[in-house]
Amino acid sequence: QSALTQPASVSGSPGQSITISCTGTSSDVGNYKFVSWYQQYPGKAPKVMIYEVSKRPSGVSDRFSGSKSGNTATLTISGLQAEDEADYYCYSYTVSDTWVFGGGTKLTVL
Amino acid sequence: QVQLQESGPGLVTPSETLSLTCAVSGDSISSSYWSWIRQPPGKGLEWVGYIHYSGSANYSPSLKSRVTISVDTSKNQFSLKVYSVTAADTAVYFCARYYCIGGTCSHFDYWGQGTLVTVSS
């Protein structure tokens, strides 16, 4: 299985909205609702921001939202803040009863 | 409060076996599925595999021939072995708990802090 495809980097100014795409196949993203997104700061463990495509865990800002269309899932961060600068990874269940991460996207807040 | 703590050697010799343990506190190992994830320095996350307390496990296709994950319910911990390691296995290794309802798991809700394992002679 190949890693899900994410842009290597995205950037935005404070207050703006950005999107991060995560493209898989019909064997993973396209076939299951079990797509989640993780935020990771340098030297830290990842933290879930979105699960089951669009659900937000308790305590996560409502500025974070998720969606999916076909084989591509999308993370949207609105009202960008300096603290959002981090690496973001998508993660999906696959038809082989395995799981796969995206390659990761570095978000820079300008 | 669920806590996971990885432990094991920080340095492994090439061609040898990497062995790590994840101790779970604040929850029973029998309550969920558990996983290992690794991250080479400066690179992205890679899913290694999962284990259920029943012993059911599955692994990343790219690592399947060299990896074993096991569980010890008496010690409330699970373990990872990677055989015949090379420099490419140098990474921070994380253990994590799946959030599951009715046997269906959707995401990781708890992570260990991670432990760096370097493969070098």
Closest residue on chain B to A87 (Cα): B44
User: How long a stretch of residues is chain B?
Assistant: 121
Q: Using a CB–CB cutoff of 8 Å, tell me whether B60 touches chain A.
A: yes
Contact A40 B45 (CB under 8 A): yes
Q: Using a CB–CB cutoff of 8 Å, tell me whether A103 touches chain B.
A: yes
Q: Is the pLDDT of residue B102 over 90?
A: no
Give the pLDDT score at A1: 74
Tokens representing A102 are 């995206």
pLDDT tens digits along B11-68: 999 999 999 999 999 999 998 999 999 999 999 999 999 999 998 999 999 999 999 9
CA distance A88 to A8: 10
Helix, strand, or coil (residue B27): coil
Q: Is the pLDDT of residue A2 over 90?
A: no
Mean predicted confidence (pLDDT) in B78-106: 96
The mean predicted confidence, pLDDT, of chain A is: 97
Give the pLDDT score at B20: 98
DSSP character at residue A8:
S
> Which residue in the block uniquely carries the two structure tokens 């084989």?
A71
Q: Is the pLDDT of residue B9 over 80?
A: yes
Contact at 8 Å (CB) between B95 and B36? yes
β-strand pairing of B115-119 with B104-111 = unpaired
Contact at 8 Å (CB) between A37 and A55? no
By CB atoms closer than 10 A (0-12, 13-18, 19+), residue B105 is buried
Give the pLDDT score at A42: 97
Tokens representing A60 are 């996560």
Helix, strand, or coil (residue B36): strand
Q: Using a CB–CB cutoff of 8 Å, tell me whether A57 touches chain B.
A: yes
CA distance B93 to B114: 5
Q: Is the pLDDT of residue A47 over 80?
A: yes
